[in-house]
Amino acid sequence: MMAQDSSLMKMMDDAVAESQKGQVVTGTFKATQIVNLPTVESPGKKSLQFMIMHRFGKLNGGAYELFGLDNASIRFALDYGITDRFSVGLGRSSVDKTFDGSLKYKLLQQKEAGMPISVSLYGLITNYTQRYTDKPYLDARYRTAYTTQVLIAKKFSPAFSFEVVPSWIHYNLVPTPEDKSDLFAVSAGGRLKFTKRMSVNAEYNYLLRNQVVSTKVYDAISGGIDIETGGHVFQLVFTNAAGMVGPYYLAKTNGSWGKGDIYFGFNITRNFNFKK
């Protein structure tokens, strides 16, 4: 057998080891977001992802509100991979009737050797269309906000991945002069797989203090479970944030976990391919 020829076997093993070094680490996260926080993942080239993000009302609404199930907010989103590293997205949230457009670019990809982390850049523009008859001055410009995030992730093991995200949000209009129009937040999140197709996820979004002063805001803390089945990913989530895009969950979260302002919800993603 070939095994007797140990020098040849060694040559073959070396050749394999060499090609392993350059391999990109894949599957850092199952979905394109942990709960609300975007992950370094994006749809592959020519694949379209349809996502439904759904949040029921607050659990502390009690039996009268059927523990939040009487109310719901939703975001629909489409994300399309132009290349394997660059994707574009469109979304619409019922919260504030907000439209959003986004770009995600995989700047660095973690490799088996040489590159220890993945870094993606994420840019999101939001425009809310909720009518406020008492505020006739709200034109399209005032209704627009920009969110820029640097997604830095590492897959430490097949089961465990962690991500750190500095965010910068710019509002064209804020409620009072005391409120900052440029806000900064730092988020951290991760996933831990407990079976091949399921994982627990959590994220903490820390909004730097004394930026939003006219209203009481809380850090958005979310957790959930990912269940992956073929082309779908289901995420069952608990969060204190009603909003599902940057300017909302990062800087307008008015729910407190301590008071029971917890929203149950889910994200469902479905992939469609346009490659023959």
Q: Using CB under 8 A as the criterion, which residues of the chain lie in contact with other proteins when the complex forms?
A: 1-5, 8-9, 11-13, 15-16, 19-20, 23, 26-27, 43-45, 47, 81, 84, 158, 196-197, 229-231, 271, 273, 275-276
187 vs 235 by CB, closer to other proteins: 235
Rounded least distance, CB 197 to other proteins, Å:
6
Three-class DSSP category at 73? strand
Rounded least distance, CB 38 to other proteins, Å:
18
112 vs 178 by CB, closer to other proteins: 112
192 vs 213 by CB, closer to other proteins: 192
Rounded least distance, CB 254 to other proteins, Å:
37
197 vs 259 by CB, closer to other proteins: 197
Spatial distance between the Cα atoms of 259 and 276, rounded to a whole number of angstroms: 52
- CA dihedral 37→41→42→45, nearest 10 degrees, is 180
Q: What is the CA radius of gyration of the chain?
A: 21
Rounded least distance, CB 170 to other proteins, Å:
33
Spatial distance between the Cα atoms of 7 and 175, rounded to a whole number of angstroms: 73
66 vs 159 by CB, closer to other proteins: 159
DSSP letter (8 states) at residue 244 = -
- The residue count of the chain comes to 276
Rounded least distance, CB 2 to other proteins, Å:
4
Which residues does 265 contact at the CB level (< 8 Å), separation at least 6? Answer: 53, 54, 55, 56, 236, 237, 238, 239
CB of 124 within 8 A of CB of 100?
yes
